[in-house]
């Protein structure tokens, strides 16, 4: 097998895996039914070998589970599992924040963080009410965390964080807004914004442990918000429209 042919297969597998992941998270396949290689191959328009390898990758990520003599199934995730994964992501990002503080922030990173914080502050003061406002808030949150990971200068952290962020409602874009109490929803956003400011300040001051502790606490509060907000049927309905929302278990127990 030539190098160019191998690269072509590798790229095909990467694309197929990403496409399969997207389809699973969007609810394309029925949860609770066996997911066959031939079905995946036909859906992605790839060979059964590529389909099998893509499915194997998603088994390692935790989206699929393979059982002897039963084949592969799409997993369901309890709210507690989602919250736990968010805290794990927080531990990784705490390490990233510590590394940023130890290395020191570049002028470019400082400008990027400051612009995100300024835009977040402006939006928060105006009120995050409409769907467009919420979308903008999500984008700012994603940008903040992506800038953090990039500034850490770590080669291992991005891959680890990306992998766990593939799980339902664990990514930094998967914000579930409170639907029952406007004041509480506003407080949750203000609290998250205050965390971002404090983490940024700690990193600028080269206070590695403080930055890590604040990031860890930030993730813990995020997990707590998920637990509380998803208990509300309206918030759960909105969450099911997010990538991975179709995989949230009806009860707080793991299902397969």
For the stretch 176-219, pLDDT in tens is 887 777 788 889 999 999 999 999 999 999 999 999 999 999 99
If one counts every other C-beta atom within 10 angstroms of the C-beta of residue 142, the result is 16
- Residue 82 near residue 167 (C-beta atoms within 8 A): yes
If one counts every other C-beta atom within 10 angstroms of the C-beta of residue 164, the result is 17
Given this model, what pLDDT does residue 1 score?
57
Q: What is the pTM of this model?
A: 0.87
3-state secondary structure of 255: strand
Q: Which residues of the chain have pLDDT under 50?
A: 253-256
Q: What percent of the chain has pLDDT above 90?
A: 77
Given this model, what pLDDT does residue 182 score?
79
Given this model, what pLDDT does residue 106 score?
96
Instruction: Output the six-digit token pair for 214.
Output: 């604040």
Given this model, what pLDDT does residue 209 score?
98
Task: Please measure the distance between the N-terminal and C-terminal CA atoms of the chain and give it in whole angstroms.
Answer: 39
Given this model, what pLDDT does residue 4 score?
76
Given this model, what pLDDT does residue 74 score?
93
Given this model, what pLDDT does residue 250 score?
74
* Strand extents, DSSP E, the chain: 34-35, 64-67, 71-74
């Amino acid at each position: 097998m030539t190098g160019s042919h191998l690269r072509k297969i590798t790229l095909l597998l990467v694309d197929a895996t990403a496409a399969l992941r997207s389809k699973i998270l969007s609810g394309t396949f029925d949860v609770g039914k066996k997911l066959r290689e031939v079905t995946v191959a036909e859906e992605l328009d790839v060979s059964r070998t590529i389909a099998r390898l893509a499915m194997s990758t998603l088994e390692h990520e935790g989206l699929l589970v393979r059982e002897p003599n039963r084949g592969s199934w799409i997993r369901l995730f309890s709210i507690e599992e989602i919250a736990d994964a968010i805290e794990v992501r927080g531990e990784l990002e705490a390490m990233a924040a510590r590394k940023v503080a130890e290395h020191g922030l570049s002028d470019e990173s400082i400008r990027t963080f400051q612009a995100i914080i300024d835009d977040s502050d402006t939006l928060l003061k105006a009120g995050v009410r409409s769907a467009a406002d919420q979308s903008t808030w999500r984008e700012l949150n994603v940008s903040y965390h992506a800038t953090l990971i990039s500034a850490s200068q770590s080669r291992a952290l991005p891959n680890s964080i990306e992998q766990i962020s593939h799980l339902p409602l664990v990514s930094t874009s998967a914000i579930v807004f409170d639907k029952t109490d406007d004041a509480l929803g506003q407080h949750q956003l203000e609290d998250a914004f205050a965390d971002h400011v404090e983490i940024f300040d700690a990193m600028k001051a080269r206070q590695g442990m403080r930055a890590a502790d604040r990031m860890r606490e930030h993730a813990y509060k995020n997990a707590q918000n998920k637990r509380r907000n998803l208990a509300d049927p309206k918030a759960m309905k909105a969450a099911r429209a997010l990538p991975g929302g179709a995989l949230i278990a009806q009860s707080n127990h793991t299902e397969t």
